[in-house]
Amino acid sequence: MKEQRRGHGGWKRGVGLMLAVALGACAGKAPPPREAPVRAPSNAELAGAELNARVEALLRQMTLEEKVGQLAQYSQGVPTGPGTGRADHEQMVRAGAVGAFLNLVGAKETNRLQRLAVEHSRLKIPLLFGFDVIHGHRTLFPVPLGLASSFDPAQVEQAMRRAATEAAADGIRWVFSPMTDIARDARWGRIVEGSGEDPYLGAALARAYVRGYQGASLAAPTSVAASVKHFAAYGAAEAGRDYHTVDLSDVSLRQVYLRPYQAAVEAGAATLMSSFNTLNGVPATGNPYLLTGILRQEWGFNGFVVSDWNSIQELVNHGTALEGAAAARQALTAGVEMDMEGNLYAPELPRLVRSGQVPEAVVDEAVRRVLRVKFALGLFERPYADETAGPPAPTPESREQARRMAEASIVLLKNEGRVLPLGDAVQRIAVVGPLADSRINMMGCWPARGDAREHVTLRDALERRWKGRVVYAKGTDVLSPGTEGFQEAVKAAASADAVIAALGEEARSMTGEAASRTSLGLPGNQEQLLAALAATGKPVILVLFNGHPLVLTGLQAHARAIVEAWYPGIETGNALVNLLSGEVNFSGRLPVTLPRGVGQVPLYYNQLSTGRPPGAVDLTRPPTASENKYISRYIDEQNAPLYPFGYGLSYTDFAFSAPALSAQGLKAAAVPRQGAALQVKAQVRNTGAVEGTVVAQLYLRVRGASTAQPVRQLAGFARVHLAPGEAREVVFPLGFEELSFVNARSERVVEPGTHYDVWVGDSSEARAHVDFMME
């Protein structure tokens, strides 16, 4: 069953149109308008007739300079990239030469510039203020990779609703989030900002972010416009090196990397941000295939695209433009409406239009898209933030929400001998490590307006819970090569019944943008410290604070328990102590695969099979002379990860029944575009002694398809809370989204004659199985 949409031919017609616009103008011909979308609009608020009539009426009044002004964004406040620098912003606002600002935060500060625009510019067009609200604004939730570990889109949506409310109260109506880049390379620093390696989970969370930010209507005073980033495939940078090249087949691009972006657009995202990378030789910021062919023609996107910081100017570095004017022309005609801190559109576009190199119709269409978002946000009716309420601050309710979110996001990886939870026999606890009492690191990267003084550390919470029975020693710094603090740490460990080692990465310098790593172990001498603590003979619980998926192979022998906390946000300590004490059960699951060694990277569960899979060969040792050497394997390491995607332990155990199908056999032609074609049912039982929540996961494999499909791919998940001994039936609907794949013609299809394997369990290594044929 083919999806009804344009393939390559559609985008080629669109690209041809854009080139005809530019080249026709050079020849003195009247330019045609941009081609209309071939699909129904995915963001209906921006397609309203009344709204667009207001846009057209305003557009007719604008001079060329005022139009170009709407396409220019400048940074105020703390910059988030290499500065380009201007000091005349107020004068520019009065002249209508600015459309948006970023990094200016606070109702009083944003209102000051907004008054210049609304009360002193000729057309009184309000400004749009944007900010990097990534995992909370004042109340910081876990970093996005941690949020993804919850496998709980509903709770993530509620967290982002809170973030939107706080940001709007602070004068921000536009947030540069969610980051929906699929990331399969643990070396990439920005893996911490996304939802991991899986497109199905990524799509579900992308919808949740957009719904949370934008609410029921963009016009609501507490709603903010989302900016989905980075379009597209930024997470596939070669060698995990930030800003680097991406080279993908169109099948991989569409089947894996585009799915979360598309889900966000279909959820109504008002804006997107172009990415820094090239894609198949064409920079994303000047890529008409992505920005016009796919985004607008195929997906029917009605909002606008903003460049990433100075990425239009960077087209010159990429080598597709010789100088700034050519870069501006390339980006605008490809489909980038707003220039973020690049200072190219404002000086170059008027001259390019007047010289006939860029048709004014292309500028008009860009301005329409920007104005649509401003009208939809209600900025013309309510341009000012409320200064009387004062700046937003965390509340008891928002802190409780952040704590619950953190509890759902933290993953228990190892619990040898059930050393956790910490029981009554533990009278004295040693908490050791550079991250045990570091408030600023609990904030993670991109902390928005979070205040480190408000964050609860692991040491804080332990000392409150075990009053007078906690001894603390820092031991070392994150990057320290020396062992000066080891003696104090070992002494503390020796005096305790249990040792909690809080180790990991520095959040801001070692994770996030421009923080790629070639080694993925604990930095500095932290592994040495861990070994010294273990040598005391006391049980060591390793709590990791990190943004990269780390290689934990060498740490396994030193820790009886391993807890992957990521950076949990404002309620870090309280959430962790609730989990470590057993007051709350662990339920987080890995949204990424943890490798045994960096040599396995990029490593992800949903890979394609090879023509020479290992089969039943024992990969835990090198091949012997009698074995077939010529299979897809390493000679010095297993293929398998240390911990697989979807994995996480609990204080209880769960068992899954064999899955059952609601029908035997399914006709490809009968699979509907919307709704379920088939249901998979399985019973899950809590076989342990305490209540707990399991993330039930469904995986598919398609065999006999026209293009090779992954050995497994996530196609459903659900959080299920069960009392001891309780069982519940979990139902997974399978529709077009789950059953389809991309064929060699870049069409998403369901093909007859294909065989589907189905597994249900609590990780990507699920074993309960059923299968069916697609007729």
Name which of 218, 265, 269 is nearest 379 in CA terms: 218
In angstroms, the CA 96 to CA 67 distance is 9
Classify each residue of 54-78 as buried b or exposed e, where b means 16 or more C-beta atoms within 10 Å of its C-beta: ebeebbeebeeebbbbbbbbbbbee
Neighbour tally for 47: CB within 10 Å: 16
Rounded to whole angstroms, the Cα distance separating 164 from 607 reads 36
Write out the two tokens for 397. 């309710």
Q: Annotate 564-578 with DSSP letters as a single string.
A: E-----TTHHHHHHH
170 included as an active-site residue:
no
Q: Which residue has the tokens 């049980």?
A: 539
Note whether 728 and 692 are within 8 A (CB): no
Distance of CA 232 to the CA centre of its chain: 12
Q: How far apart are CA 728 and CA 735, in angstroms?
A: 23
| Paired residues of 462 in beta bridges | none
* Cα 249 to Cα 705: distance, rounded to the nearest angstrom: 17
Which token pair is 213? 């930010």
Q: Which ranges in 170-258 belong to alpha helices (H)?
A: 199-214, 250-252
Q: What is the DSSP annotation of 54-74?
A: HHHHHHTT--HHHHHHHTEEE
Q: Can you state the percent helix, strand and coil of the chain, rounding each to 5?
A: 35, 20, 50
Q: At what angle do helices 360-376 and 49-59 cross, to 10 degrees?
A: 130
170, 308, 364, 477: which is the annotated catalytic residue? Answer: 308
* 8 A C-beta contact, residue 226 and residue 214: yes
At residue 540, what are phi and psi to the nearest 5 degrees? Answer: -110, 125
CA angle 311-315-321, nearest 5°? Answer: 155
Distance CA 512, CA 548 (A): 9
- Contact status, residue 181 vs residue 235, Cβ threshold 8 Å: yes
DSSP 481-524: ---TTHHHHHHHHHTSSEEEEEEE--HHHHSSTT---S--S-ST
Structure tokens at 503: 């180790």
**For residue 695, what is the DSSP state?**
E
Two tokens at 604? 């992800």
Distances (CA, A) of 127 to 362, 517, 658: 22, 39, 57
Partners of 612 in beta bridges: none
Q: 714 vs 2, 42, 264, 641, CA distance in Å?
A: 21, 25, 18, 17
> Which H/E stretch holds residue 328?
helix 324-334
Q: Amino acid identity, residue 721?
A: H
Please give the Cα distance from 169 to 104 (Å, whole number). Answer: 13
The whole-angstrom separation of Cα 341 and Cα 339 is 6
Token pair belonging to 654: 């769960």
Task: Report d(CA 749, CA 426) in Å as an integer.
Answer: 57
Cite the active site residues: 308
